[in-house]
Amino acid sequence: MTISPEPTPAIEALDLVRTYRTHTGVIRRRPLNVEAVKGVSFQVRPGELFGLLGPNGAGKTTTIKMLITLLLPTSGTARVMGHDVVNETTEVRKRIGYVFGGDRGLYDRVSALDNLRYFAELYGVDPGEQKQRIAALLDLVGLTGRENEKVEGYSRGMRQRLHVARGLLHDPEVVFLDEPSIGLDPVGARELRGTIRDMVDAGKTVLLTTHYMFEADALCDRIAVINDGRIVALGTGADLKGAVANRTIVEIETFGVAPEAVDALRADPEVIAVNMEERDQSQILLVQSERGTHITPRLLSRLGETRVGKVVGREPTLEDAYVHLIATTSETDGTAARAAAVSV
Amino acid sequence: MTAAAEALRQPTSAQPGSLRANLRLFWLGGLISYRALFNWARPSIYIPTLIGAPTFQILFFAALGSYATGIDAEFFAIGNAVQVSAMSGIYGMTMAIANERWFGTLHALLATPASRWAIFGGRFIPFIANGLLVSVYGFAISWIFLGVELRAEALGVVALGLLATVFSCSAIGAVQGGLSMRLRDGLFGANLLVFLFLLFCGVNIPLEVLPGWMQAVSQVLPFTHGLQAVRAAVDGAGLDQVGGLIAIEFGIGAFYAVLAFGLFSFLERSARQNATLDVR
Amino acid sequence: MDGLRRNARLVWRVWVFTMRSFLASEFFILTAILQPVIFASIAFFLFQAGGDAAGEHTLLWAALGTGMMGVWSTTLFGCGGAIQWHRWEGTLELLVAAPSRYDMVLLGQTLGASTFGFYSIVATIAWGMVLFGMPLNADFPLLLPVALAVAILSLGCLGMLLATSFVLYRHANALSNLLEYPIWIVTGMIVPLAVLPGWLGPISWVLSPTWAMEAIRGSAIGSEPPWLAMVLCVALAVVYYLIARRVLRFVLDKARRDATLALA
């Protein structure tokens, strides 16, 4: 029986590191090394929808910029469709589309059509096909009929759609989306997710960065959680949930809980972790423990005099896994606990 | 599979870097960039700035120059009719490059495989055309208000001299555009350049009157040689006599153009090294 | 009386604030110092080349003229976009809704611009003395500060008129570009009106920079004290202020009616 060879990864990152040199202070400028990405490795299969999930400042944008050749890695290597991002920039650029979110990035003073025409020339799209291709993409993103308006009059949602159309002009094999749903209303965000799924259905590989956990969960085949410049978890949504699957979450609403009381909770032998969410007048303590332990009465007694409101016991969600991951890997002293990376 | 996915499955052929693609990017892309990035592309701004102001500039220096020195107004009229093209070349090219930063489009641009020569080279053409137009208009004003006459036989040589001058002025504008990617206020440098061209290069002050060091500086700036050629051509000199000056002017323009491209390459490399693209 | 004092303080505060913000602006350093100095150099070279074409006070004439040109540029660019700038910054609504009188705020701004412009005269004179060996003397030195004061006042009020008129035109900066050279010509700042076409005369008389230049020049190199010029400066200042106030009221009412106070 022949064993089919592993397909070449569409995206391959190996120990990517990126350090910035900046300065602190105004009068006495001291050089400062900021490590934005501290050794990121992962592989994306062709046709996969891969998510890079992490809080702001985690290193997502820096990582994506290295992969799309806009930034040189300080060390490490990366390949896109088999081409090295440092030495074979033209080959990489031919095969990738780059979509980013936000208000800027389009030529406001001309029409959407002109924007697309210009980028069609930049990508060298065959002149005979340009008109059809542009029309088809405008239709795909729902901008048909509005393409002759100047972009300066476009809403945020329309701009994002135009960004997507621009990224697909030359039919790239790999599409990179950097926080595309920033500032979009829920309807716009849902439409965008539909478009992203269409891309994958059409056989493209997609790498998406986001800080919206539910977006990553809803869309991605696999998710890499990145925090503080490192990947702290890698796997499908189910795998990540699996890390917390055999746990119970007890949500305790408190009013003005003292730090000593929270420490007292943590000290309990059957408590795995306590994360706290601040609300206006109250705090929600999320207590993780092994499933099946009826520890609620013990928790309440450990809280002592603290005023307590609602108490709910529930199943863990991906959000709990994510919050826990970020909380435990945000220590910057290098001894951060790392959740077991689940390889596929 | 949705209809959309079906549509996305239709492959598109794209050949960036081919000669055809580069030529299209150069001409068509250049034109689109002009409309997208030139702050004055609208008539409501274009007319006061590139037609109104130059008119009065020519009249002002014609009056001042002839009053102060006794030299015929024609000298100053021609000098300024040529110099007004500086506004298009220098401000225009500065805007064509620095405004990418303003719109945040630089990332998207540099993530494409397009030839950088084609991208930025193409931006010259509309501004050269614009500069020629403004100069021609300047000559018209000089003729209407100051009686400066251009003989039909001289037109060809004058046009060639103008083309060389406008080209080299746009080239130095491109250098200014590159510098303004890093410096905070690009238009400051552009403004300064345009004023300096009024002082140097024999535009208003005959070169012989300037101190030695200023004459030397003028020799390496745009305008000086092209303007001399144009002045001589208006007086009846033929291509055989001023061809050398025109060639030097083209050469100076080529020098600044190469300098500009070198600067852009350096800036792009440096941006990949140090992420300076993100600094607004 | 109390209202007058309050208004005077408001104008003064805005005046000082405006001057300080110009000091921090590269554009205004360019307009008020670098540009006049370059034009002064051009004028110096031209007058020197021409020998005695303009008379014995040639260089001082050139310095004062190009300095005044700088004053005009600064006033023009500083005032032309004043209201538009407020709109852009989103502060126009706040200013109009505030209890202080907006026309006083505007006056303070425009006076600040014209005052700052006087750095130009300092710059061109210093330049001329240091680099071109220009001798400095004034025939009526005691009148100079008075001349400067009425010049600032009359130019500031003209600036206010510009500001209120320009706000109706979306691209005020383009109009400002357009008005630089013509005013330099028509007000005889460096080319005396005597050598220009006669029909320009009446136009120049209603423009305060003409009289401001006369006042300053007269104090420095005139044969008799420029009383008439100074009186006309003040008279025109009052006229400009009154017209500007009328126009401002009209413009703001229109903006409030059309809901365009906040639009950029």
**Per-residue pLDDT at A158:** 92
A232 vs A244: CA distance, rounded Å: 14
Tokens of C151: 């010049």
Q: What is the mean pLDDT of residues A296-322?
A: 86
Q: CB contact, 8 Å: A109 with chain B? A: yes
Per residue in B11-64, pLDDT (tens digit) is 778 888 888 889 999 999 999 999 998 888 888 888 888 889 999 999 999 999
The verdict on a CB contact (< 8 Å) between A121 and B21 is yes
Tell me which chains share at least 3 CB pairs under 8 Å with chain A.
B
Q: CA-CA distance, A30 to A35, in Å (whole number)? A: 16
Q: Do the chains contact at A106 and B33, CB–CB below 8 Å? A: no
- Residue B84, min C-alpha distance to chain A (Å): 25
CA distance B210 to chain C (A): 7
Between CA C123 and CA C132, with CA C126 as vertex, the angle to 5 degrees is: 120
- Cα–Cα dist B193/B170, whole Å: 12
Nearest to C178 among B53, B67, B69 (CB): B53
Give the pLDDT band of residue C262 (cuts 50, 70, 90): low
Chains with ≥3 CB–CB distances under 8 Å to C: B
Which chains lie within 8 Å of chain B at 3 or more CB pairs, if any? A, C
> B43: exposed, middle or buried (C-beta count within 10 Å: 0-12, 13-18, 19+)?
exposed
Interatomic CA distance for residues B34 and B154, integer angstroms:
31
Q: Is A85 left (phi over 0), alpha (psi -120 to 50) or beta?
A: alpha
**β-bridge pairing A49-53 and A222-227:** parallel
Q: pLDDT band at residue A320, thresholds of 50, 70 and 90?
A: confident
Burial of B147 (0-12, 13-18, 19+ CB in 10 A): exposed
Specify burial of residue C141 (Cβ count, 10 A radius: 0-12, 13-18, 19+).
exposed
- Beta strands A247-255 and A307-314, pairing class: antiparallel
- Report helix, strand or coil for A149: coil
List the strands of the sheet with A174-178, edge to edge: A96-100, A174-178, A205-210, A49-53, A222-227, A230-235
Do A140 and B114 count as a contact with CB atoms less than 8 A apart? no
Which DSSP letter does residue B18 get? S
pLDDT of res. B144? 92
pLDDT in tens, A79-104: 999 999 999 999 999 999 999 988 88
Coil/strand/helix, residue A111: strand
pLDDT of residue A292: 67
Nearest to A207 by CA among A85, A34, A336: A85
Among B24, B46, B272, the strongest candidate for a mutation testing the A interface, having the largest count of A CBs within 10 A, is B272
Q: What residue type is assigned to position A194 of the chain?
A: G
Contact check, Cβ <8 Å, A117/B112? no
Torsion B206-B210-B216-B220 (CA) sign: negative
Residues linked to residue A206 through DSSP beta bridges, in sequence order: A49, A175
- The owner of tokens 């009526």 is C140
Q: Which residue reads 């570009």 in tokens?
A: C177
Could you tell me the two tokens for B60?
């002002």
B2: which chain A residues are within 8 Å (Cβ-Cβ)? 198, 201
Tokens read off for A53: 């999930």
CA A290 to centroid of chain Cα atoms: 29
| CB within 8 Å: B48 and C49 | no
Among A320-334, B155-169, C20-34, the range of highest mean pLDDT: B155-169
* Whether C14 contacts C115, CB under 8 Å: no
Return the percentage of chain C with pLDDT > 70, whole number. Answer: 94
Kindly report the three-state secondary structure assignment for every residue of chain C.
Answer: CHHHHHHHHHHHHHHHHHHHHHHCCHHHHHHHHHHHHHHHHHHHHHHHHCCCCCCCCHHHHHHHHHHHHHHHHHHHHHHHCHHHHHHHHCCHHHHHHCCCCHHHHHHHHHHHHHHHHCHHHHHHHHHHHHHHCCCCCCCCCCHHHHHHHHHHHHHHHHHHHHHHHHCCCCCHHHHHHHHHHHHHHHCCCCCCHHHCCCCHHHHHHCCHHHHHHHHHHHHHHCCCCCHHHHHHHHHHHHHHHHHHHHHHHHHHHHHHHHCCCCCC
Per residue in B235-270, pLDDT tens? 888 889 999 999 999 999 999 999 999 999 998 898
- Whole-angstrom distance, CA of residue B83 vs CA of residue B218: 14
Distance of alpha carbon A214 from the chain centroid: 10
Residue ranges of the alpha helices (H) in chain A?
60-67, 89-95, 112-122, 127-141, 156-168, 186-201, 213-219, 237-242, 259-267, 296-303, 318-329
pLDDT bin (cut points 50, 70, 90) of residue B279 is very low
User: CA-CA distance, A30 to C156, in Å (whole number)?
Assistant: 46
Interface A-B, measured as beta-carbon pairs within 8 A, has a size of 147
Percent of the residues in chain B that have a pLDDT greater than 90, as a whole number: 57
Q: Would you call B70 and C177 a contact, using CB atoms and an 8 Å cutoff?
A: no
DSSP A108: T
Count Cβ atoms within 10 A of the Cβ of residue A332 and give its class: 0-12 exposed, 13-18 middle, 19 or more buried.
exposed
The predicted pLDDT at position C264 comes to 47
Interacting residues of A266 by C-beta distance below 8 A, sequence separation 6+: A273, A274
Cβ atoms of C40 and C135 within 8 Å: the answer is: no
CB A66 within 8 A of CB A85: yes
How much is the pLDDT for A343? 26
Mean pLDDT taken over chain C: 86
CB proximity under 8 Å: A 130-169 to B? 133, 136, 139-140, 166, 168-169
Q: Say what the ipTM of the complex is.
A: 0.90
- Tell me if C19 sits within 8 A of C92, measured CB to CB: no
pLDDT in tens, C118-166: 899 999 999 999 998 888 878 888 888 889 889 989 999 998 898 888 7
Q: Residue A337: what pLDDT?
A: 32
pLDDT mean over A142-164: 92
Name the residue of chain C whose CA is nearest to B209's CA.
C49
**pLDDT above 70: residue A339:** no
How far apart are the C-alpha atoms of B26 and B125, rounded to whole Å? 9
Residue A332 has pLDDT above 60, yes or no: no
Assigned token pair, C252: 């703001």
Helices C2-23 and C102-117: crossing angle in degrees, nearest 10, is 40
Interface contact B1, partner A, CB < 8 A: yes
Question: Residue C244 has which token pair?
Answer: 């500007």
- CA atoms of A113 and A135, how far apart (whole Å): 9
Does residue A338 surpass a pLDDT of 60? no
| Closest alpha carbon to C64 in C132, C130, C123 | C123
Q: What is the mean pLDDT of chain B?
A: 89
C-alpha C175/C-alpha B47 separation (Å) is 10
Please report which helix (H) or strand (E) contains residue A249, including its range: strand A247-255
Report d(CA A152, CA A231) in Å as an integer.
38
The CB density around residue A78, as the number of other CB atoms within 10 Å, is: 24
A152 vs chain B: nearest CA distance in angstroms?
11
Amino acid at A285: L
CA distance B52 to B60: 13
Question: Per-residue pLDDT tens for B71-96?
Answer: 999 999 999 999 998 888 999 998 88
Rounded-to-integer distance, Cα A53 and Cα A63, Å: 12
With 90 as the cut, is the pLDDT of residue A47 above it? yes
CA–CA distance, A200 with A174 (Å, rounded to integer)? 10
Q: How far apart are CA B92 and CA A227, in angstroms?
A: 44
According to the model, what pLDDT value does residue C263 have? 55
C-beta separation of B97 from B38 below 8 A:
no
Cβ atoms within 10 Å of C129's Cβ, excluding its own: 15
Across the interface, of B15, B29, B107, the residue whose CB is closest to A122 is: B29
Distance of CA C45 to the CA centre of its chain: 26
Closest CA to A177 of A187, A190, A192: A192
Residue B171 has pLDDT above 80, yes or no: yes
Q: What is the CA radius of gyration of chain C?
A: 19
B7/A112 Cα distance (integer angstroms): 20
Tens-digit pLDDT profile for residues C155-210: 999 988 988 887 766 677 778 888 999 999 999 999 999 989 989 999 999 999 99
Report the run of H or E that residue B102 belongs to, with start and end: helix B92-103
Backbone angles phi, psi at A23, to 5 degrees: -130, 150
